[in-house]
């Protein structure tokens, strides 16, 4: 049973390591590609048709042509800013493999919160030490719930809740009437002529401006943010339960082994 809990804990550690190490390869891919698609949609770039299913291409083509006509009517500085966005996001997506490796190391060493870094290191070495029955490893198991409690408190009280940079542009809409209210919002608030597709174009234009002015424009790695309290409590509860089970099961064995060693030292056969 103890071995099973240790393996589960090690799986959690390796999952976190893989997630953070692979973020420049997978997380940033989604982050920058979604923004690139938004900029190309505003431009009316027909290259996006390659990602559209065959049965929807007619409608998508008309929409892109409409966007291209509106884009051509924008002032020169706005057109140049959007073209800069496209070049910027394409450059991020085409960054070399070596740079992504450096980004992975940068995340693991510098960008993670200190208590999360400490938990990963101690959880890895303490679990391995218990598996190999290294002396003193059982007592050090209580470091893990202590670190998780420190992370819970620091994250909940010191970090701020980070919303997407364009979150303020989206209205609060009831789900049962979403499509109608969404179209009405774009038509009435964003379109000078009250047209839905025109409103959608200017809404996306405002989104690009908000994204451009945010710190996530250059980097998708925003790990210092407030996490849900329920997740933090579950994280602490698991570590406390893990330490209790391991100490209860292995502590007796460790004490018996030490006592046996003492008895053999002072009462040789």
Taking only the tens place, the pLDDT of each residue in 127-136 is 999 998 888 8
Q: Is the pLDDT confidence value at 43 over 50?
A: yes
Residue 252: predicted pLDDT: 53
Q: Is the pLDDT confidence value at 2 over 50?
A: yes
Q: What radius of gyration do the chain's Cα atoms show? A: 27
Nearest to 35 by CA among 84, 96, 98, 104: 84
Non-local (6+) Cβ contacts of 79 within 8 A are 71, 72
Nearest to 187 by CA among 176, 199, 178: 199
Q: What distance in Å separates the CA atoms of residue 148 and residue 232, rounded to the nearest whole number?
A: 8
Q: Is the pLDDT confidence value at 125 over 50?
A: yes
Q: What distance in Å separates the CA atoms of residue 234 and residue 224, rounded to the nearest whole number?
A: 19
End-to-end, the C-alpha distance of the chain in Å comes to: 34
Residue 48: predicted pLDDT: 94
pTM assigned to the model = 0.81
Q: Is the pLDDT confidence value at 259 over 90?
A: no
- Record the tokens describing residue 206, joined without a space: 């405002």
pLDDT tens across 188-235, in order? 999 999 999 999 999 999 999 999 999 888 887 677 889 999 999 999
Q: Domain limits at 117?
A: 2-266
Residue 265: predicted pLDDT: 46
Range 144-149 contact pairs with CB under 8 angstroms and sequence separation of 24 or more? 144/119, 144/239, 144/242, 144/243, 145/236, 145/239, 145/240, 145/242, 145/243, 147/115, 147/118, 147/119, 147/122, 147/239, 148/115, 148/119, 148/235, 148/236, 148/238, 148/239, 148/240, 149/236
Q: What distance in Å separates the CA atoms of residue 133 and residue 267, rounded to the nearest whole number?
A: 24
Q: What distance in Å separates the CA atoms of residue 218 and residue 28, rounded to the nearest whole number?
A: 10
- Record the tokens describing residue 261, joined without a space: 């060693």
- Record the tokens describing residue 133, joined without a space: 């029955």
Average pLDDT over residues 14-41: 93
Least confident of 18-22, 133-137, 263-267: 263-267
The total of structural domains in the chain comes to 1
């Amino acid at each position: 049973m103890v071995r099973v809990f240790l393996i589960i804990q090690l799986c959690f550690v390796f999952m976190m390591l893989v997630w953070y190490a692979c973020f420049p390869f997978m997380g940033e891919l989604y982050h920058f590609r979604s923004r690139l698609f938004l900029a190309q949609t505003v431009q009316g770039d027909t290259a996006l048709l390659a990602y559209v299913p065959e049965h929807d291409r007619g409608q998508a083509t008309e929409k892109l042509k409409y966007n291209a006509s509106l884009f051509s009517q924008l002032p020169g500085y706005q057109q140049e800013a959007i073209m800069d966005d496209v070049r910027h996001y394409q450059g991020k997506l085409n960054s070399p493999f070596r740079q992504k490796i450096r980004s992975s190391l940068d995340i693991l060493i510098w960008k993670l919160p200190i208590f999360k870094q400490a938990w990963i290191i101690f959880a890895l070495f303490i679990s391995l030490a218990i598996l190999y029955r290294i002396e003193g490893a059982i007592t050090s198991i209580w470091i893990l719930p202590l670190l998780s409690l420190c992370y819970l408190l620091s994250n909940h009280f010191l970090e701020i809740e980070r919303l997407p940079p364009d979150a303020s542009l989206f209205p609060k809409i009831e789900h049962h009437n979403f499509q109608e209210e969404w179209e009405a919002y774009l038509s009435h608030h964003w379109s000078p002529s009250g047209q839905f597709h025109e409103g959608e174009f200017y809404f996306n234009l405002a989104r690009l401006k908000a994204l451009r002015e945010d710190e996530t424009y250059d980097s998708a790695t925003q790990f210092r943010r407030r996490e849900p309290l329920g997740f933090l409590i579950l994280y602490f509860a698991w570590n406390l339960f893990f330490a209790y089970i391991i100490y209860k099961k292995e502590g007796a064995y460790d004490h018996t082994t030490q006592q046996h060693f003492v008895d053999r030292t002072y009462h040789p056969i």
